Structures are given as C-alpha cells and as structure tokens.
Structure 1
Amino acid sequence: MAIQRLAQFYRSCLFQVIIVGLVSLCEPGIWTALNNLGAGGQASPFLNNAANALTYGLMSVGCAIAGGVSNKITPKWTLVLGAAFYTPYAAGLYCNNRYGNEWFMLLGAGLCGIGASLLWASEAAIAVGYPEKAKRGKYIAIWMGIRQFGPLIGGSISLAINVNTRSTGKVSYNTYLGLIAISALGAPIALLLSQPQKVVRSDGTKIAYMRQTSLSVETRAIWRQLKSSYLLLLVPVFLAGQFGVTYQSNYLTTYFTVRSRALASFLTAVVGFGANLITGYLLDLPRVSQRAKSRAVYIGIAMFISACWIWNAIVEVQLSHQESTAFDIGGSSFGDSAFAVYLFFRFFYEALQTYLYWLMGEVGKGVASEEYRHGDVARTTGILRSWESIGSTIAYVVGATHWSNLNQMILGLVLWFATIPPTVVALYGRWEPEVGVAEARPTPDSSSVEEQKVAVAVKA
C-alpha cells in the first residue's frame, strides 16, 4: 500500500513541480545567487555584464524556438539538456576570479545561454501547463519558491566566507566552489521527471500533450502567437520586467561592501520566496473570477514597483553626488534606506514574475482541444522568456559600458512606466480565444475526467 502511494505521488503533478523547482534551484537559482553578489562577485561589473549580455542575446533567439523543441522531444529531455549547460558559467566565474581568465567565462556564458533557452521553456511548460487551473498559482509559487533556495544557499555560503570583508571589491574565490557543485546536480535531478502521458492530476485526469508535431507545425504556431494582439500588448512588460535587475546589480556593486552584497544575496532569496508564495496564494483565491484576480494583482504589483522606482531614483540622485561611497551593514540610516529599497525592488520583481507565468497559463483557455492549449503554453512561455531576454540583453549591454548608474536608473524607470498603459489595455480588453494548430494530433489519452478517475481508482 505504501509503495502504491509512493508510486502515485511519483506520478503526481506536485512531484513534477517539486523536481522542476529543484532543477531550477540548481541552475537559474545558483546563477541568480552569483549575480546577487553584484557583478557575479567580481570587483568590476563590466566583464560580467558583457558575459550576461551574451547569455541573454542567445536566449532572445533560443527561447522563441525552445517551446517548439519542448513539444517535439518532451519537456523532460529538454530540461535535462538545458540543465547540463549551466555549470560552465559558474566555473567560468571561478576561473576569472582566481586566475583572471576571461575566455572561459565568456564560453560558459554562451553555453549557459543555450541551456537556459531550453531549461526555461521546458520547466515553465511543466509548472504552468501540468496543473489544473484551480491550483496553477500555487504550483507556480512552489516552483519559483524552491528556486529561491538557490540564492538562499548561495547567499549563506557567500555571507559565511565574506562576512569579515568590509571593503568593496571581489568576493573570495572559495565562494564559487560550493555553488559549482550544486549546479552540477541539476541534470541528474531532471532525470527523475515523468513523461507527460504518465502524470495524473489530483482530479484524476491525465496531462494532455502534443503527441505528434513537426517543424512546420511549430514554426506556424509560434508565428501565430508572435502576431497575437494580446501578446503584443504584453511585450513591453516582458522587455522591461528584467531591465531593472541589471541596474540593481551595478548599484549593489558600486555602493556596498562585499559582505553587504553577500547579505543582499541571502536576503533576496528570502524576500523572493515570500513574494512567490503570497502571489501564488492570491492568484488561487476561490470565489473570485480569473479576470478579477488578474487585474487586481497586476494593479497592486504595478503600484508597488512604481513606488520602488521613485524611491530608488531619490536615493540614486543623492548617491551620484557623493565622491566615494561604500555602505556597510548597519553603517548609517541612509545606507540602510539604500539597502532596503534594493530588497523591496526584488520582492515585487519576483511577484511580477510569478504573475506573468500565471498569466501565460491563461493563453488559449477557450480552445476546444486541451492538447492544442498545452502546446501553446510551451510556446508562449518560451516567447515570454525570449522577450525578457531581449530586454536583459539590452540592459547588460548598457551595463557593460561606462554609462553612469544615474543614467541607467533613469532609463530603467522610464521603460517601466512605459509598460503600464499597454499592459492595462491587454488586461482590460476582451479577446477572442485563439484556435490551435490543426495539424497537431491529440494524445490517445482523451477519455473523460470521470473515466480517468475510474481507471485510477481501479489501479489503486
């Protein structure tokens, strides 16, 4: 009996989301932990920004087609391949920090861009497309919440090693060793995923999946979504949603000591975890329509992010007129305010990310065939990451120059406020549900919910 329950849990949506979360912890979680150190832990942000620009430049193209790859070879194998390409990035930072090697850091960044394209499209397709609608917010929050343990672990290691470093500069090279080891676990963990046809939801239904697809089907389906008026209105928030993170990294590197940056890496994970859970809970509130929840949550997040940008602008203007600044933990009330705005910004940024992935799960909800909708979820989440990557590429290119932090802050603030009008139009407009791709063939697991429940009961 215990073995049967364990087998059922192994095939459940919850277990798949936990595995995706653990892979995310090991890969983008550790990547985030490294970048939360400010400039990847380096003394100067310019080379790290150039490496990240390369990563996101590759992702801007790769993510757009990765959803189609996921539909073709299944999310499981797409995730395994994607996870395997992350570790060279952390190793490259280590070699650059200790030996001054630059080419390996750039090679690692390029491989990471390929891997991230595959990983982000596949894990988002699982976390967004597998759960039933009533639990989607909670499962997205679990996925993104587990990912926060990557920065939490990384921040803990960094804080322990660098706690006595009260100056600015680069972190100890020993910081990277534990993070590299964690990153290497991602691909083996991804092998524990089940194929979609073997997963059963809590209501007894199986996951609909694209059993047969082709390059021409995926190309036309992706092109159809890229032309969608609804998604085009959301492009600005995809582009600018990540833009401020580069400025924040440069801000942290320029104005704070090494141990303050290590503390920021740790606390960013804590506030991010809270943001994921709170946003997921709000998006799954019962007896509130999907449309009402979508609008209310976005308006709340937009108001708070706008307030953070204004607060950050006030702080940055004052800092830009000071000749030399190196805030330490608890050093002054103004330094504490400058540190606090960074954490508030990261809290509401994570809330925005959770919301946007939940919103992508709504795409195609009116489509008659569940198989078509699930195929679109994989493509749409890939497109989301593609536009985010384009924005991040531009941001890191700007960050790799010697443009002042003040100018970078102004650009980020203007871009953020420019995203609000089109996003509001998208959320308050009335859109006809889009049709699927006619050539995609449905899975044979097309029995009704009640039939599937009976099958599950008999098997148990």
Structure 2
Amino acid sequence: MASFRRSVLAQMLICGVIALLGPGLWNANNSLGAGGALTPYLVNAGNSLVFGLMGLFCILSPIFVNWIGVKGTLIAGSLGWSVYSAALYQNNRYGTEWFVIFGAAICGVSAGLYWAAEGAIILSYPEHANRGRYLALWIAFKNGGQLIGGAINLGLNATKATAGSVSYITILVFVALQAIAAPLGLFLSPPHKTERSDGTRIVVEPKTPVKEQVRRLWQMILTPQILRLLPIFFSCWFYWGYASTYLTLYFSVRARALASFLSAVTGTLACILLGIFLDSKRLSVKARIRYGFIFTAGLFTLLWIWVLIVQHDFEMNRPPTLDWVSPGFGRAFGIYIMLQTSGNMVQNYLYFLMGTVNDGTLEMSRATGLLRGVESWGQCASFGISSSKFSPFYTTVINLVFWTVSLIPAVFSIWAVEDKRTLVEGQDSASEDAVVEALAEEKKDPVSQA
C-alpha cells in the first residue's frame, strides 16, 4: 500500500498547487485583459515574446528532463512567473516599459521548461485508467488560480465602472503568491519513488546523450500522426491575443475583473465534466477520443462563427465602454466567457489525446513539450498581431480560418486512434524500444534515473 506522500494523488496535488500559484495566477492577470494595463499593446508585445521563447524551450525541454529529471526541470520552470508579474506591476504603477520585455524573456524560458515537465508528470505518473480524471484535477487547480486571482481582481476593482488600468495592489498580491510556486516543487516525489495504486511502475527512460534526445524528438515530429496534429496545436490557443484585446478594448475595469473570475469557474466545471467522460468505462478509448473531438472542436467552431458576427457589429458601430449594467453587456460578455471555457476544453482534450498515444516520462515530456511548444507559437503570433492596432474583426477572420483548416488533418490522426496504446500509423519501433529498455533497466536497478 503506497504511502500518501509517495502516491500519485499526492504528486497531482503538489503539481496542482504549483499550477494554481504559477500559470493559474498568471492567467488570472491576463484574463483582466493586457495584464490589467490601460492599453493592450505593450503587454501584448511582452506576451508575444513570452510565448515565442516558451515554444522553443517547451520543445527543447526533454533535453533538460533527461539531464536533471522532471522534478528539477519543474522547479526551474516555476521561477519565472513572479518575475513577469513584477514587471507588470512596475509598468502598472510607474510606467516602466523595459522591465516588461525583460520579465517576458525570463518568463518565456522558464515557462517552457515548466509546461513540458508538468505535462510529463501529469500524464506519465497516473495509471492509464485515471488519466482523464487527474488531468481534470490539474486543470481545476490551474483554473483555481484564476478563480482566486479573479476574486482578488473583483474585490479590489469592483468600484471601477469605467475603462482604465486595474489597481496595482492586485498585481502585487500575485507577485507574492507566485514566488511560492518554485519551493513547493521540492516536495515532489521523483518517478522511481512514486507508487501507483495498481502496482504498475512509471516508465523512466535511461539517460541518453543530447544528440539522441534531439534525434528522438525529431523522429516524433516527423511521425505522420503527430505531424497531422501540429496545425491544431498551433490554432487551439491562437485566440488568446484576440480575447485579451477584446476584453481590454470594450469593457470596464470591474467587468474585466468579473470576466477573470467567472471564466475560471466555467472553465473548471467544463474540464471536470470532460475529464469524467474521457475516463468513462462505458465507451472504448477510440469512441471517447472521437466523441470528445466532435464535441470540443464542434463547440469551438460554432463559437467562432458567433464571435465573427458580434465583432462585425462592433466594427460597424463601436459600443461605449461596457459595464455590467450597460445595455448589450450580456451578449458581448458571453462571448469572452464561452471562448475561454471552450478553449480550456480543447486544451484538456489535446493533453488527453497525447497522453493516450505516448508513455514514459521522457516520451511524455517530448509529447507535451511539442504540444505546448506549438501552442505557444500560436499564442506568440496571436499576441504579436494584437500588439499593433490591427483590426479585431480581421483577427477574428484569421482565427476562424486557421482553426477550421487545422481540423482537416487532425481528423485523420484522431480517427487512427485504436483502443490500445499504439496509435501511430507507420511509426517505427523506436519509442517502444525505449520503453522496453527502460523496463529492462528497472529490473536490473530498481532505483532508475529520475
């Protein structure tokens, strides 16, 4: 019987709290629109740099996981959130601009390591039968950070019924809380010491040279099934720059604070329900993967059509600053809430998909690093577009086109999913060989590389 400290649940709770304090609060800040700033353009440029560097280091992070283990990589990846929030505080209170760009660079490198290590832990530690639920738990914690942050935002800005920047105290609270994230990583159990409830071992690939890690990463990228998923990875978070700008341009400070809070509530509930469905034993894995895709992708597509219609109306006749007592507030506000909610569901689904087609800590770090890296480049491009005064309507058109086109190759990969773990059409046996080697290594030496 596994001790609680070494149990999978304990590791998920530790990762969840880190996700709450780090990216969760960062998301809460960005859910205010432009990090709570008066205008979106500088912060959008900073966010573009964050996601550009994050994408690169997400994809390269398996090298670090192979070198210092998932635990060390996670700790290193938790250091940058508070630095960027501190830069946003300086900009909000004193108008400092250079620190936003510097903080964005630090955060981008750090977050790239964080996301791949976190994804590897969340998807490789749990037994296969419970991955959807644990993924939903992690998403709930991450959105819980946005929920807490949103409550702080709302409490400190509830009287601001006009446009403007949020209280700088809001961001200062975030800086203090995010600084706690990295030390919590010290309590994480390495994979070779973690005990699953079903008695199975966590596959840990033996350490290999950097050149071999690069070879395996490139091999994964060129796998036909993964290659066809890259467009949807890019487009699934491409909307965020538009959503942040939309909220900043059209809503009052307290409405932005309400959006930060409410989108966390709806996103958390939606992902929990999706996670329960994805772990359902009543349907085969193949059926869950297909139905999950139809629901999440279909909802997101219909939502973009709605966004296009409303944004066109705003383009023809820009509304005054919308507060929660303004006429037409519900229609415009609902778009943002639904966009964030369905976006979270799409990401939750894609993580589950990658967890289904891969196994082992290093293989998972490559898979999640690739997923999060390409997602980040989509966000980089999105915030890059939104850092200028480019028309929000044409930004919406670009989003809808990118998303719709990305669904076509994704369908071929998702429909290739079988009920067993091996799903990749035409894939050679390199990944399986790595798993066999790791299992053999574990039999020789039960204390595997972390």
TM-score with structure 2 length normalisation? 0.93
Match of residue 123 from structure 1? 118
The correspondence for 1:347, drawn from 338, 341, 349, is 341
- Residue of structure 2 in register with 1:391 after alignment: 378
Shift of 1:443: 5.5
- 411, 422, 425: which one pairs with 2:409? 422
* Counterpart contact for 2:240–2:383, Cα < 8 Å: no
Kindly provide the amino acid, as one letter, of the partner of residue 354 in structure 1: N
For residue 360 of structure 1, report the CA deviation from its aligned partner: 0.7
Residues 339-378 of structure 1 mapped to structure 2, 5 A cutoff: 339-364=333-358, 373-378=360-365
CA-based RMSD: 1.8
Q: Distance in 2 between matches of 1:356 and 1:149?
A: 20
Measure how far apart 1:447 and its partner are: 5.6
Residue 245, structure 1, aligned to residue 232, structure 2 = no
Residue 402 (structure 1) aligned with residue 389 (structure 2): yes
- Per-residue Cα deviation, 1:120-159 (whole angstroms, up to 9, x for no partner): 0000000011111100100111111111111111111111
What is the CA-CA distance between 1:346 and the residue it aligns to?
A: 1.2
User: Structure 1 counterpart of 2:106, which letter?
Assistant: L
- Give distance in 1, aligned partners of 2:284 and 2:349: 15
SS at match of 1:442: helix
1:145-294 mapped onto 2 (5 Å cutoff): 145-294=140-289
Tell me the alpha carbon deviations over residues 51-110 of structure 1, each in whole angstroms, 9 at most, x when there is no partner: 011111111211111023113311111000110122110000000000000111111110
SS of the residue 2:438 aligns to: coil
Q: For 1:425 and 1:325, locate their aligned partners in 2 and report how far apart those are by CA, in whole Å.
A: 45
* SS at 2:123 equivalent: helix
Q: Is the 8 A contact 2:127 2:200 kept in 1?
A: no
What is the percent sequence identity of the aligned residues? 38
Q: Structure 2 CA distance, aligned partners of 1:394 and 1:264? A: 24
Q: Secondary structure at the match of 1:362?
A: helix
- The code of the aligned residue for 1:402 comes to K
Tell me which residue corresponds to 2:101. Answer: 106
TM-score (norm 1): 0.91
8 Å contact kept, 2:54–2:109: yes
Does the Cα contact within 8 Å between 2:206 and 2:441 map onto a contact in 1?
Answer: no
> Could you tell me whether the CA contact under 8 Å between 1:298 and 1:355 is conserved in 2?
yes
**Higher mean displacement: 207-216 or 256-265:** 207-216
Gaps of at least 5 residues in structure 1 are: 366-372, 453-460
Q: Deviations over 1:177-233 (max 9, x none)?
A: 111111001001111101110001010222121232221220110010111111111
Q: Distance in 1 between matches of 2:52 and 2:365?
A: 20
Q: Distance in 2 between matches of 1:313 and 1:152?
A: 28
1:344-400 Cα shifts (integer Å, max 9, x gaps): 1111111111111111112246xxxxxxx4421111110111111111111111011
Q: For structure 1, which segment, 341-350 or 255-264, has the greater mean C-alpha deviation from structure 2 after superposition?
A: 341-350
Conserved? CA contact 2:242–2:386, under 8 Å:
yes
1:239 Cα deviation from its structure 2 partner: 0.4
Whole-angstrom CA distance in 2 between matches of 1:244 and 1:323: 21
Q: Which amino acid aligns with 2:340?
A: R
Contact 2:20 / 2:142 at 8 angstroms: preserved in 1? yes
- Distance in 2, Cα, partners of 1:335 & 1:191: 45
Letter of the 2:370 partner, please give it. Answer: I
